Structure 1
């Protein structure tokens, strides 16, 4: 890949994106330009990978062909305002800020600027993210493929229209927290049954990981896979009945709906 990659913000998600790109070897360290308000974050990266650790967001915008803006939603407008005059016409802006629409970004950097909204999730930290990709009308198919290639370095991607991003937040962006709660609850139950805490977490987490992999690789309906585990008059169907009695599926659906509504309320236009 020949493009120069810029990254503004080296928090958890920004650093995950950077490490994924570095690990893929699709670009050299010398092709990457970074800035974080805590400049010491970039010093080790510069020494190890020869990454360009720059003095300002403006410098990144001036140098890069593709600029990831990985800052919090409450400061992204300040960053966009700061870099606007430094952007070239063909520079691609990639925003991971929740609740900040393409229209809002265009308002601050220009309506002819190339913009992509991305909604990643925290498994990006172990290159197992699920990212939605939403381009504006200025992005070509070739450019979209480049963006997708970069984000595939941290996991899986799907192209999604902007009106569905709030649903993505519920299904993917926020849901790792729900999954961690589920794993913790599974482990608590196993500890109550006598398993050590360390083993309980391992059994529960591996069961969730393996179940997800089985669903993705077989393409079977989750209900069919559930039925495969439920032997007649067996242990599993007893547990399934208890979850149904406690409103398990309804509670999960309500949680996803709550995240969608919150995401919609956060939209900044």
Structure 2
């Protein structure tokens, strides 16, 4: 069973849905004629339809009836209304995939009278450029075949990993919020470059490319970041001087504290729906 055999519906045609569609279609994992979209914002819906030549459903219920896989790509505060609307049309042989942050598979399943497979996904914004990091948790009624389909879907916009649902708060604090931490570091390095005399554009691009290159080194070499760090650090050199300053500023503890703070906030927000 693969995505090529399935019709896929997107309830919500926002930026993340657009990114997933772009990844799916550019990877030839499906064809435009096998995709349906719906959105209350007709301007946005029509833009996505025109860009990808996909089908527009009459409404959310119509979309569900036409789709093997339904991607719930709406904001968390909207999802309850959407689930209430479509609950009577969802069948046990369909797969529900939710990217609504903080809402558990149990919460989503509670709207359905039957044993509907649900997969919860925490993607992040670099998915918009095909470099996302997504974590997927299978609900009570989702099997390995459902998880495999969802992994195929999100691997088209980066890297996707299966985790337990209990780990989703940790994922939210790490990779969900993580891009913002990286942007702050990139901005700070660029500011330092400007202070040292570099033009702003060059400083920013050098900083961003350095972050990108370092990340690729970790992922593609398989070496531990500490090993790669040591390879850049020569005795008595510039790098060790900079690292010493970072360690004096407790950068490790500060970054760890930031991630844990985001994890805790995710738990607090998720408790509202439990």
- Common topology (TM > 0.5): yes
- List alignment gaps of at least 5 residues for structure 2: none
CA contact (8 A) 1:7 1:14 kept: yes
Find the residue that maps to 1:108 and give its secondary structure: coil
Q: Which of these residues, 35, 46, 49, is aligned with residue 32 of structure 1?
A: 35
* Bigger Cα displacement from structure 2, 129-138 vs 207-216: 129-138
Q: Which of these residues, 97, 101, 105, is aligned with residue 102 of structure 1?
A: 105
Query: How far 1:111 sits from its partner (Å)?
Result: 5.6
Alignment of 1:210-225 (within 5 A): 210-225=213-228
CA contact (8 A) 2:13 2:48 kept: no
d(CA) in 2 for partners of 1:196, 1:46: 41
User: Which residue number in structure 1 is paired with residue 269 of structure 2?
Assistant: 266
CA contact (8 A) 1:46 1:52 kept: yes
d(CA) in 2 for partners of 1:192, 1:153: 40
Query: How far 1:108 sits from its partner (Å)?
Result: 1.1
- List alignment gaps of at least 5 residues for structure 1: none
d(CA) in 1 for partners of 2:13, 2:50: 16
CA contact (8 A) 2:91 2:114 kept: no
* Bigger Cα displacement from structure 2, 160-169 vs 39-48: 39-48
Alignment of 1:211-250 (within 5 A): 211-250=214-253
Paired positions, count: 269
Q: Are 2:131 and 1:115 aligned?
A: no
Q: Are 2:15 and 1:16 aligned?
A: no
Pairwise CA RMSD of aligned residues? 1.3
d(CA) in 2 for partners of 1:140, 1:206: 40
* Bigger Cα displacement from structure 2, 256-265 vs 132-141: 132-141
d(CA) in 2 for partners of 1:135, 1:67: 15
d(CA) in 2 for partners of 1:48, 1:176: 27
Specify whether residues 43 and 208 from structure 1 end up closer, same or farther in structure 2 by C-alpha distance, changes over 3 A only. same
Give the alignment's TM-score, normalised by structure 1.
0.96
Q: Are 2:98 and 1:126 aligned?
A: no
